[in-house]
Amino acid sequence: MDAKNLIAEGKSYLGIEFGSTRIKGVVIDDKGTVLATGGHSWENRLDNGIWTYTLDDIWGGLQDCYADLLKDIKDKYGIVPTAFASIGFSAMMHGYLAFDKAGSLLVPFRTWRNTITEEAAGKLTKEFGFNIPQRWSIAHLYQAILNKEEHVKDIDFVTTLAGYVHYMLTGEKVLGVGDASGMFPIDSATKDYDADMMKKFDALIAPCGFSWKLADVLPRSISAGEDAGKLTAEGAKRLDVSGNLTAGIPVCPPEGDAGTGMVATNSVGLRTGNTSAGTSVFAMVVLEKALSKVYEQIDMVTTPDGAAVAMVHCNNCTSDINAWVNLFKEFGEMMGYDIDMNDLFTRLYSKALDGEADCGGLLSYNYISGEPVTGFDKGAPLFVRTADSKFTLGNVMRMHLYSALAALKSGLDILINEEGVKVDKMYGHGGYFKTKGVGQKFAAAAIHAPVSVMETAGEGGPWGMAILASFADGRNPGENLEDFLNRKIFADAKGSTIEPSKDDEAGFDAFMKTYMDGLKIEKAAVEVLL
């Protein structure tokens, strides 16, 4: 069946992901071929010290993204879709959305970017014997309790952004296990919240006398492929303001961007890994065995079907690079040039290949916000050089691209060097890898392993979400997610692999030594400027 008829007959799959700066929708066929896309740009805001998006941002952005998708379908195929075989929603993991019994938001959405839960995260990590990062939903909830915030007694439901959107469109308070693993620790044997840790948390808060227990307010954790409800009539109107979309469409379990990244890179099997690098950056490896101890730099999450994953997550990646590229754009326009941003990014990223392996002694910190992996709850972007540093454009760009991965590398070095974790395949995706052969080359040097980028990597999370939407509908009886991906989606996948060069590895390691030693400079900048 051709694409037009597939969409017209409601046999295609839709995935929509809420990223940090863009909401994107992707429509695919049953083999993962992209048939149409749509998008909406948005940006979080700092409101009274909290990084947040408003509910109007969420719904206005979703509706504009879907309308843009409809336009793409209309332009390409001359039709207006009324149904899909299945739909899925994903979003940035973690954060805190708390609602009362009436469904009212109790406090503004606290996103993953906030570093305001240090006390709670530390106490829970000690209590559970399990690393609880600051951005996790349970850390936000417990910090609100420690702060004696008035709203906590009125909580009826706490969820993530993806869980909230799914609930409003289906009425189901569920969450894919991968996204749930960023709310509260998951027991991979049961693919549900860890029962012993749930009891410990309830005991911790018992003196507060709340009417609820943790199990009452968290969404139900379910695995990829399980029934997660259907689009309601109200939900259809909320998504498609034109009114053409019908109710009753199956909606798969909502997932986090970590899970969709794993799917989009076919890295849900043991000893596979992926690095997602955009506004934030994280790397994940599916583990063969548990880690020997707790590391505050390493999160334990799961694949969308519940396998244990070690993740290093950093709040900052390309935002500082973007600021520098915009500076070059401003200069170019001042000189009278018509600047194409895609071309500018490609040229500047490519120029980094001319830089020296150790960046010529240049150093930068890309801390737009705090960076817990290296011990910062606030950040100040910083560029440092000595009088004899080699201050060239190639070195400047290489430095920024190294810096974007440096905090991540500090965490990955623990997995590889201290825990002996083995990685057979590491895939890269996200904007950092968009310029062919550049980010990929530097990531290989940072990880000391081959890095592959697939031709489909540019579609990223929303494409991965669309694939998850197709999983329950298109798998063979008893087929797991890994086998489905290998059989149905990636059997003929094309891409490129770059092996790390010894010079690049040595150069990145030299940069890292200066970077780690220089954290005291960043600390001083934060203390003086903020």
Both tokens assigned to 101 = 């019994």
Cβ 440 vs Cβ 451: under 8 Å: yes
Bridge partner list, 41: 22
What CA–CA distance (Å, rounded) separates 413 from 503?
A: 18
Does the pLDDT of residue 495 top 90, yes or no?
no
Q: Is a pLDDT exceeding 80 seen at residue 442?
A: yes
Tens digits of residue pLDDT in 131-145: 999 999 999 999 999
The pTM (predicted TM-score) of the whole model is: 0.83
Exposed e or buried b per residue across 179-205, where buried means at least 16 C-beta atoms within 10 angstroms of its C-beta: bbbbbbbbbbeebbbbeebbeebeeeb
Strands (E), 95-135: 97-99
Tokens 């009125």 -> residue: 154
d(CA 10, CA 233): 17
Rounded mean pLDDT, 80-91: 98
How many CA atoms are closer than 13 Å to the CA of 109, on its beta-carbon side? 22
pLDDT at 456: 66
Cα 298 from Cα 132, distance rounded (Å): 9
* 529 confidence band (pLDDT: 50, 70, 90): very high
Look up residue 198 and give its amino acid: M
Of residues 448 and 15, more confidence is placed in: 15
* Residue 183, helix vs strand vs coil: coil
Q: Which residues 6+ apart lie within 8 Å of 157 measured at CB?
A: 98, 99, 167, 173, 217, 219
User: What angle do helix axes 319-334 and 393-413 make, rounded to 10 degrees?
Assistant: 170
Q: How far apart are CA 480 and CA 463, in angstroms?
A: 19
With 0-12 / 13-18 / 19 or more C-beta atoms within 10 angstroms meaning exposed / middle / buried, residue 383 is middle
Q: Virtual CA dihedral for 29, 32, 35, 39, nearest 10 degrees? A: 120
With beta carbons less than 8 A apart as the criterion, state whether 72 and 236 touch: no
Out of 229-243, 261-275, 454-468, pick the least confident: 454-468
Mean pLDDT, the chain, as a whole number?
Answer: 95
Nearest to 94 by CA among 286, 274, 301: 301
- pLDDT tens sequence across 356-370: 999 999 999 999 999
What domains lie within the chain, and their CATH numbers? 266-315+413-498 (3.30.420.40), 319-410+502-529 (no CATH)
CA angle 291-296-299, nearest 5°?
60
Q: How remote is the C-alpha of 5 from its chain's centroid?
A: 33
Secondary structure element (H or E) that encloses residue 426, with its range: strand 425-429
**Strand 45-47 vs strand 34-41: parallel, antiparallel, or unpaired?**
unpaired
User: What is the rounded CA–CA span in Å between residue 20 and residue 45?
Assistant: 11
Contact 92, 315 (CB under 8 A): no
* Residue written as token pair 């960023």: 182
Distance CA 468, CA 513 (A): 41
Residue 420 to residues 256, 271, 329, 412: CA-CA distances in angstroms?
27, 12, 44, 11
Strand partners, 51: 46
Is 80 exceeded by the pLDDT of residue 56?
yes
Say yes or no to pLDDT of 436 above 80: yes
- Look up residue 199 and give its two tokens: 């009891």
Percent of the chain with pLDDT over 70: 99
Task: Give residue 472's pLDDT band: very low, low, confident or very high (50, 70, 90).
Answer: confident
Secondary structure letter of residue 105 according to DSSP: B
Distance CA 429, CA 277 (A): 6
Q: Which structure tokens are listed for 311?
A: 């993740």
Q: pLDDT-derived band of residue 510, with 50, 70 and 90 as boundaries?
A: very high
Quick: pLDDT tens for 332-350: 999 999 999 999 999 999 9
> Do residues 202 and 211 make contact, with C-beta atoms less than 8 angstroms apart?
no
What's the mean pLDDT in 298-320? 94
Lowest mean pLDDT among 178-187, 218-227, 238-247, 266-275: 266-275
Q: Grade residue 507 by pLDDT with cuts at 50, 70 and 90.
A: very high
Q: For 70, what's the count of Cα atoms within 13 Å in the CB-facing half-sphere?
A: 17
* Cα–Cα distance for residue pair 262/275, rounded to 1 Å: 9
Per-residue confidence (pLDDT) for residue 430, from 0 to 100: 82
Element (H, E) at 350: helix 341-351
Please state, in angstroms and as integers, the Cα–Cα distance from residue 439 to each residue in 348, 353, 366, 435, following that order. 12, 10, 16, 7
Lowest pLDDT segment from 70-74, 233-237, 281-285:
281-285
| Close Cβ partners of 22 (under 8 Å, ≥ 6 residues apart) | 39, 40, 41, 42
Give the integer Cα–Cα distance in Å for 476 and 472.
Answer: 9
Distance, in Å, from the CA atom of 465 to the CA atom of 171, rounded to the nearest integer, reads 20
Residue pLDDT, tens place only, 179-223: 999 999 999 999 999 999 999 999 999 999 999 999 999 999 999
Element (H, E) at 496: strand 495-498
Burial of residue 248, with CB atoms counted within 10 A of its CB: 0-12 exposed, 13-18 middle, 19 or more buried: exposed
Structure confidence at residue 458 (pLDDT) = 60
Beta bridge partners, 121, equal none
Instruction: Give pLDDT, residue 457.
Output: 58
| 36 vs 40: CA distance, rounded Å | 14
Q: Measure the CA–CA gap between 51 and 46, rounded to whole angstroms.
A: 5
How far, in whole angstroms, is CA 53 from its chain's centroid?
16
